Structure 1
């Protein structure tokens, strides 16, 4: 974190990243002294409502974050920044986005948790757009022009007011990660009315121990469950909108996912927390498991990152890929898209055993044969193909058969991609 004093004294001359959070109500003009070097500007957590019209003087600016401020519209000045690729205005009061506010090099636009009711048709002119985050707004439809964004790979439209998913959306050639839960969609796109297979546990039987981790949707603790010898994990869900959507929608998806060897085993749900927090009790994962990859960076945008020393044997790779295909077939058989099929959401060990986690972007789809069901499954098949391709780069041996399979999963004709049951059969025939 930097300060205005740092700027004014010249201590920040030549820096490429600036992070200012000092209850600002006006854009500090001193920032322009960094015009020849600044690439990432983070002004989140202030009280800003405007940006200067000459923002383009920051001619090297690639990333701009202004989340948790008081903007009511996306500033037009952004549109004149020629190098700007990533724009994040989460949790403001934005009700309007005009064509003039869209920069020509835009790759990632984050407008989560605002009050948008519509988007401009000009969004379809953003030819470089890869990532669009719109969860937690008031959108009733999407501009048809978005179909022209042929590079769009990740879209979050959960927790809006959408009454349907347009056919063109389901057939976008590169879309791989889609979240649309918690919208007033037709029957088949919402969580099942009952979840009788998930036992109800009592809070008084749970003793929380140390915190194991926290994310946008909640906090996970190690815990002791009365009458059980083995420790468990307890996830307490929060109510705030996340970048993917509603934490309660995530909880419903976890329950609906059921049991599978490549899913974290669910012991039950808790409905009587003293603070009315919904919670799930789950299997505690052994410490020898680790994340397969790391989440995307600002530069990689929609692609995971892997440790430089990540190496998989051919047998471990095959086991891992078969496991992921199997669990995806299981989920889609239950009418559930994971929505975030990434290496950073997969735990694995060196033998290739794996567990798929994080259902924050999961959404329901019809189980009967329909364009929507077929397209949504094959949309996720593209994410699977990307994952296979990335893992092949970590393998100590080449595998041309898997490479061709990854290419089939990523072909631009969505409905020509294989479904997961076919992928399971193809992968099973290899051994």
Structure 2
């Protein structure tokens, strides 16, 4: 984090990223001194309600974050910023998004946790739009013009007031990650579950965190005197970039038991601060996260360490396991919504588990005709994972030749012509058996 004193003294001359959080009520004029270098500007956690009309002087600005401020509209000046690709106004008071506020090269728009009731038709003219995050607003409809956004891959519309999922939405050729829980058409069921009191848990070290919560290792002191090491996920708040903790917990519990899913043991109750939580099975420390989350540059693609590779048999086992987990979830009427490498844990043998149900949504019960398309949208997310591992694995030519047609079919633009997870899992299981038979 930078300071105003550093900015005013000239210490930040030439920086490409500036992070300022000092209860600002007005945009500091000194920022314009960085016009020839600044690419990322983070003004989150201030008290701003507007931006200056000459903001386009920051002619290299690509990314702007203004979360947790006091904006009631997205400033129209953004539409005149020539290089701006990513815009984030999470957790403000925004009621209005004007078509004039849309940058010409917009790729990633975050308006989570605001008060929007409508969106402009001009959003459909954003040809480069790849990620659109709108969870936690008051939307009653989506502009049909979004059907023209053929590059849209990730869409978050959970916790709005949408009466139905538009059919045209399920035909977008590149859509892969979709979250829509908490709307009237897709209310989550009240899944019964065991409960564990906070007083029965001894919190230990933090294991990791994501958009919706923090996971700790804990020890569960049971009533019979025995104890068990577990993981405890404590949810951060009432709204995340993907949806609500209530929707996530319901999907986790309804997902049931599967060897390639992180097992859920119970709900948490009696937290002293009223926090919600889930008790999870503790994963063996030999498991590691497959990938890093998308970066500002990669947008919708996971990040991998340079030169990282996975032996082909382990890659096949991992892919087969995740396909099996997805098949199981869709059999329960659950769309995971965030099937990504950064939500997968794996060990050296290629055993894998899929976690993080923050974007999970139940199939709309009154629209059975949409269920097949929802599964095949997630198939494209799996295809991206498959492609990432194929490029990072030295697979024998025979296996690669068998996988490439499957990859092509999973990625094709006609959503309903893609294979389902049953076919994908069967194909990968067969290839895995063949790979094992080829061992010396």
Range of TM-score over shorter length: over 0.9
Q: Could you say what secondary structure the match of 1:231 adopts?
A: strand
Q: CA deviation at 1:406?
A: 1.6
Contact 1:392-1:403 within 8 A present in 2 as well? no
Q: Could you say what secondary structure the match of 1:429 adopts?
A: helix
In 2 relative to 1, CA 310–368 (structure 1 residues): closer, same or farther, beyond 3 Å?
farther
Q: CA deviation at 1:175?
A: 0.4
Contact 2:140-2:161 within 8 A present in 1 as well? yes
Alignment of 1:295-314 (within 5 A): 295-314=293-312
Distance, in Å, in 2 between the alignment partners of 1:26 and 1:317 is: 52
Contact 1:209-1:222 within 8 A present in 2 as well? yes
- The 4+ residue runs of structure 1 with deviation greater than 4 A are 366-369
Tell me the equivalent position of 2:249. 251
Contact 1:289-1:347 within 8 A present in 2 as well? yes
TM-score under structure 2 length normalisation: 0.93
Contact 2:344-2:355 within 8 A present in 1 as well? yes
Tell me the equivalent position of 1:161. 161
- 1:190 equivalent to 2:187? Answer yes
Tell me the equivalent position of 1:403. 404
Contact 2:153-2:175 within 8 A present in 1 as well? yes
Tell me the equivalent position of 1:126. 126
Tell me the equivalent position of 2:71. 71
Q: CA deviation at 1:46?
A: 1.0
Q: CA deviation at 1:368?
A: 9.3
Contact 2:32-2:57 within 8 A present in 1 as well? yes
In 2 relative to 1, CA 352–8 (structure 1 residues): closer, same or farther, beyond 3 Å?
same
Distance, in Å, in 1 between the alignment partners of 2:78 and 2:364 is: 40
Q: Could you say what secondary structure the match of 1:377 adopts?
A: helix
Distance, in Å, in 2 between the alignment partners of 1:234 and 1:192 is: 22
Q: Could you say what secondary structure the match of 1:344 adopts?
A: helix
- 1:264 equivalent to 2:265? Answer no
Distance, in Å, in 1 between the alignment partners of 2:195 and 2:42 is: 44
Q: CA deviation at 1:192?
A: 3.0
Contact 2:191-2:253 within 8 A present in 1 as well? no
- 1:321 equivalent to 2:319? Answer yes
Contact 1:239-1:248 within 8 A present in 2 as well? no
Tell me the equivalent position of 2:419. 418
Distance, in Å, in 2 between the alignment partners of 1:4 and 1:280 is: 41
Residue-pair matches, total = 426
1:399-421 per-residue CA deviation (whole Å, 9 max, x = no partner) reads 12222212211100000001111
Q: CA deviation at 1:215?
A: 3.4
Q: CA deviation at 1:230?
A: 3.5
Distance, in Å, in 1 between the alignment partners of 2:365 and 2:349 is: 34
In 2 relative to 1, CA 386–214 (structure 1 residues): closer, same or farther, beyond 3 Å?
closer
Tell me the equivalent position of 2:194. 199
Tell me the equivalent position of 1:9. 9
Contact 1:23-1:46 within 8 A present in 2 as well? yes
Q: Could you say what secondary structure the match of 2:184 adopts?
A: coil
Distance, in Å, in 2 between the alignment partners of 1:406 and 1:228 is: 48
Contact 1:334-1:367 within 8 A present in 2 as well? no
TM-score under structure 1 length normalisation: 0.95
1:275-325 per-residue CA deviation (whole Å, 9 max, x = no partner) reads 433322211112221100000000100000111132111110110110011
Contact 1:367-1:373 within 8 A present in 2 as well? no
1:10-62 per-residue CA deviation (whole Å, 9 max, x = no partner) reads 22222111111111111111111111111111111111111111111111111
Alignment of 1:169-180 (within 5 A): 169-180=169-180
Tell me the equivalent position of 1:371. 369
Contact 2:15-2:38 within 8 A present in 1 as well? yes
What value does the CA root-mean-square deviation take over the aligned residues? 1.6
Contact 2:80-2:103 within 8 A present in 1 as well? yes
1:114-156 per-residue CA deviation (whole Å, 9 max, x = no partner) reads 1000000000000000000001111011011011100000000
1:336-355 per-residue CA deviation (whole Å, 9 max, x = no partner) reads 01000000000001111001
Q: Could you say what secondary structure the match of 1:69 adopts?
A: coil
